[in-house]
Structure 1
């Protein structure tokens, strides 16, 4: 009987001592950012994992005063240390080089050893846009190599359309010419077939706005996925239902847009819905894409009210996407908002710090902007680029159908990450060159540590880039020689393996009116964007000059090109209004 009493007593003492100490601590990175979701293990507890919370803090009951702690987080060096569990612990995780470079300021385009002036961002009518530095002419012999990022972003064009449709002047920094070109389809009939490599077509023509200059067109077509073999998707719709969204062109428009997207979902796809407005909520737990009625009923039930805790909602959306993560699948958060975050992390710097931390998760981010008056273009553009994703602006239901139905695979399925093009001009072939569009943010252009940031490219996307060139003295001996070498570099989405493709551009100039219609139309778009941006290289050009040239380049049987011509005509009337005669 005494033995039994001793056994019971020892068990009681052991149980009492098991929670004797409470280890508390905080985990940050080298930049001072609190890290959530860090995996924590203690030697005394074997391989059982604990995780840091939203504020980077943790608390663990333990029975020992001395222990060994191990901290593991993707993108950081593993930290292992002996600790006194009775003391509060402060840990700093060191970034791996691949993580550290993500925090450098990023360039849309670059020229080796060339930097520009500094600046910031500006606001108009309560809307915010990043200040941009227009690319200048560069001496080819001194700086023969340049480059620019590839992406599928096209928000600028539909945003410009919104201003002109409302008979308003377009803010100059709302005009991003590469996104205007991205809006249009430059594919050829053969590009519709499934392929696993990029294609690059080039054409050198005369310049329609500057006699003696030339235009070099680079038409890049992305690999096209086989629709029958597209991997399952894990999508989290993150929908802003705050008070600022309570207008017909905001939440109701997004509800219609997301119902269109739901029609594209398959039974193998998973969809969840997170909302924020006065707080953050999970409106729909992960659901099969086959249950379209349930998905649409939840979307229809959303009502706008409250403030805008956008940063907190983004965290919850990513956590939701992590829980239902599909290995080798398409994992993506789709954020839809006017960008007006007013609770929690609201500045662009704070949002950048937060979103870069999620870039290592292999979860993509698509940003859909809506609204007018307090639309924060600069914030959504930053989130999309730093979050390994893409960015579009929806101004009407037709645009929603274009982005989420007709161009569904381009928007949702990536075929390349960190994609960029390097162009090396051959010595003696040209005097100067200027990349049209791909203008850099002023703060990135001024920072000597900035580097070229590649973009995400969707299935089958076709993009056009244009250089304006000042040629050397005419010499027939240059014909058929190599004008430039083009190197396309990117990483594959699933395997993250590096890929490179090389192309040659021959010196074979032709007159612009003899070139393929797609190049003439691209020139018209670039010309229109440059006039709206009030480019110093187009100071002598007006909207009516664009209209005159565009009229010869537009295919009026193409609805998008016809709409473009009508926008040029609207700009003509807005920027050059007819003066009314005074009554006597």
Structure 2
């Protein structure tokens, strides 16, 4: 009986002290059992050095707690310190598709073949976004094929750098590179590769950057692949800035506020401290956050520098202005004041790609999707110049095909960047930007006259007349504005025999690799036009054209193609 009394006394003492610490009896009952029980004599002789909490004896906790700073209100000084938060890595992340079906992508109709006699001119805005490629990678890393609307071929192609010749002088911000070669997936057709390469601004002479980080801290960002990755990403970008630049931070959840007034970027410890202390919770007042971020950027506008808001979010706006057209209109007006917008997307499950694409396209900025720390480094460190410093804006491409030599054509990708023919010469029409050192690639598939057309011949169609320019397949026109100008300039290049290659294997290496990426994207979208091409064919073409691969991006691409062969068509629902 004496032993039983001692055990009961210890248990009662533990319950009493737990009550003082704010813990309920139910919480104590849930605590894990232990075999370590304090004997009464030990408890009496060391009254100041042992605290009994439930069934667990913790030595010297009282003295340790007294030596610490005052505890938070209503907390017992006898409560043990809380355990440190667990260190999360990618292997501990929740399944990406727990909210499958809530990711939002704008659907689009894939470009089809056009008859040159009926529609000889193709016009589009260039696109340097890369969000689609990163999303495809994140999906395949979950062993799930991406939804077709998430696959934008031009963003897949332009994820990679291509070794095009840069312009000779900065007076013309980029050079044009054209190649024509046989299609690897359709006998009798050809591919036309149009590439442009922007000049690279020297780091010492680059303009000053006035940046506002607009960070989503709402409850939807409370996931290891969201806010913690945002914090790591922005810290990487901060390391690329110097004393010439300023950084401000605006956060938004249920409401928006300024977390950091404009601060010289060389005060890195101060800026990092603000980024590190951010936490997620509440609803998403994204529109109010955007308004405050633009207000800060405009208050510190540098007419000779780069003024940019960088939005980091999953796009789940649910408070304030949530209508996509209203937000687009607001950002278009702000763009006219000289402040551009770039968007960094994070997370899966409720990712709103449709909204973020619209915001970036109307804000004269880029849209990237950050799925890993490595992707953050690629976008914000390796490509910091092209991400932050534009060398040309409102860049449009118009290709006129020659009906004497080309029967049909289709633009591969760029569906969401299509422009009307008369938009090309209209300087009021917005288009994409090219950043420092950036390359942009577009591919057309063409059917030469006499080749295997996709549509039957017209009974009453007139035959094209032979002209002095019958050797040309077409003519490329590129219109652009310098970053501080509102008047466009024109570059022209013929597509003729000088750009032709007799076989696919003889085509430039970068052209062949871009073809492999395009073929992969087309397969993911359903493979309507790429004939008998298979994933194995894509791997073969990519491996043969991989070339120098300093960061391993092209090798990673090959592995993604292999992963797609066995990936599931749809993620399983959690139950």
Question: Structure 2 length normalisation: TM-score?
Answer: 0.74
What SS is found at the alignment partner of 1:128?
coil
Question: Partner of 2:565 in structure 1?
Answer: 572
Aligned to 2:128: 152
Match of 1:483 among 465, 473, 487: 473
Judged with a 3 Å threshold, the aligned counterparts in structure 2 of structure 1 residues 441 and 195 are, in CA distance, closer, same or farther, namely: closer
Q: Distance in 2 between matches of 1:151 and 1:178?
A: 7
The alpha-carbon distance between structure 1 residues 488 and 179, as it changes in their structure 2 partners (threshold 3 A), is same
> In 2, are the aligned partners of 1:409 and 1:459 still within 8 Å (CA)?
yes
Judged with a 3 Å threshold, the aligned counterparts in structure 2 of structure 1 residues 556 and 531 are, in CA distance, closer, same or farther, namely farther
1:237 to 213, 226, 233: 213
Shift of 1:550: 2.9
Contact 1:555 1:562 in 2 (8 A): no
* Alignment match, 1:355: 331
Q: 1:126 touches 1:375 (CA, 8 Å); kept in 2?
A: yes
SS in 2 for 1:530: helix
Give the equivalent residue in structure 1 for 2:553: 560
- The 2-side partners of 1:411 and 1:216 are apart by 27
Instruction: Judging by fraction of residues, say which structure has more strand.
Output: 1
Structure 2 residue corresponding to 1:345, chosen from 299, 304, 321? 321
| Alignment correspondent of 2:486 | 496
Q: 1:492 to 1:248 in 2, by over 3 A?
A: same
Residues 82-120 of structure 1: CA deviation (Å, up to 9, x unaligned): xxxxxxxxxxxxxxxxxxxxxxxxxxxxxxxxxxxxxxx
Give distance in 1, aligned partners of 2:531 and 2:525: 10
Aligned residue for 2:336, secondary structure, equals: helix
Offset from partner CA, 1:38-93 (integer Å, 9 cap, x none) = xxxxxxxxxxxxxxxxxxxxxxxxxxxxxxxxxxxxxxxxxxxxxxxxxxxxxxxx
Which residue is equivalent to 2:529?
A: 537
Give the C-alpha shift of residue 356 in structure 1.
2.2
Paired residues for 1:270-289 under 5 Å: 270-289=246-265
How much has 1:415 moved relative to structure 2? 1.1
Does the aligned pair in 2 maintain the 1:418–1:454 contact within 8 Å? Answer: yes
Give the secondary-structure state (helix, strand or coil) at the position aligned to 1:373.
coil
- Cα deviation 1:301-336 (Å, max 9, x = unaligned): 111111100011000000000100001210000000
Alignment of 1:384-533 (within 5 A): 384-440=360-416, 453-473=430-450, 481-507=471-497, 508-533=500-525
Shift of 1:247: 0.7
Matched, 1:207 2:197: no
8 Å Cα contact 2:189/2:448 also seen in 1: yes
Partner secondary structure for residue 161 of structure 1: helix
Conserved? CA contact 1:430–1:470, under 8 Å: yes
Distance of aligned partners of 1:557 and 1:326 in 2 relative to their CA distance in 1, 3 Å threshold: closer
- The Cα offsets for residues 216-268 of structure 1, whole Å up to 9 and x where unpaired, read as 11111123223221111110000001111111110000101101111111111
Shift of 1:539: 6.2
In 1, Cα distance between equivalents of 2:134 and 2:531: 24
Residue matched to 2:101: 125
SS at match of 1:513: coil
Partner of 1:202: helix, strand, or coil? strand
- Whether 1:365 aligns to 2:358 is no
The separation in 2 between residues aligned to 1:473 and 1:325, in whole angstroms, is 58
Partner of 2:84: none
Q: Is the 8 Å Cα contact of residues 192 and 443 (structure 2) preserved in structure 1?
A: yes
TM-score w.r.t. length of structure 1: 0.73
Measure how far apart 1:429 and its partner are. Answer: 1.3
Q: Is the 8 A contact 2:125 2:397 kept in 1?
A: yes
Aligned length in residues: 449
Closer, same or farther: CA 276–494 of 1 in aligned 2, 3 Å: same
Alpha-carbon shift at residue 427 of structure 1 (Å): 3.3
Matching residue of 1:313: 289
> Taking structure 1 as reference, are residues 540 and 478 closer, same or farther at Cα in structure 2, changes over 3 Å only?
farther
* Corresponding residue of 1:39: none
Displacement after TM superposition at 1:355 (Å): 2.0
Contact 1:131–1:441 (CA<8 Å) still a contact in 2?
no
Q: List per-residue Cα deviations over 1:473-496 (Å, max 9, x = no partner).
A: 38xx99993322111101111133
Give me the whole-angstrom Cα distance separating, in 2, the residues matched to 1:546 and 1:576: 19
Partner of 1:357: helix, strand, or coil? Answer: helix
Aligned 8 A contact 2:173 2:392 in 1: no
The structure-2 alpha-carbon separation of the partners of 1:202 and 1:544, relative to structure 1 and needing over 3 Å to count, comes to: same
Instruction: Structure 2: give runs of 5+ residues left out of the alignment.
Output: 1-98, 452-466, 571-575
User: Is residue 154–residue 180 contact of structure 1 (8 Å, CA) maintained in 2?
Assistant: yes
Structure 1 position 416, deviation (Å): 1.3
CA distance in 2, matches of 1:546, 1:385: 30
Q: Where do 1:97-246 residues align within 5 Å?
A: 125-188=101-164, 196-246=172-222
Task: Give the C-alpha shift of residue 471 in structure 1.
Answer: 0.7
- Superposed, 1:247-326 pairs within 5 Å as 247-326=223-302
Question: Does the Cα contact within 8 Å between 2:343 and 2:366 map onto a contact in 1?
Answer: yes
The SS at the match of 1:493 is coil
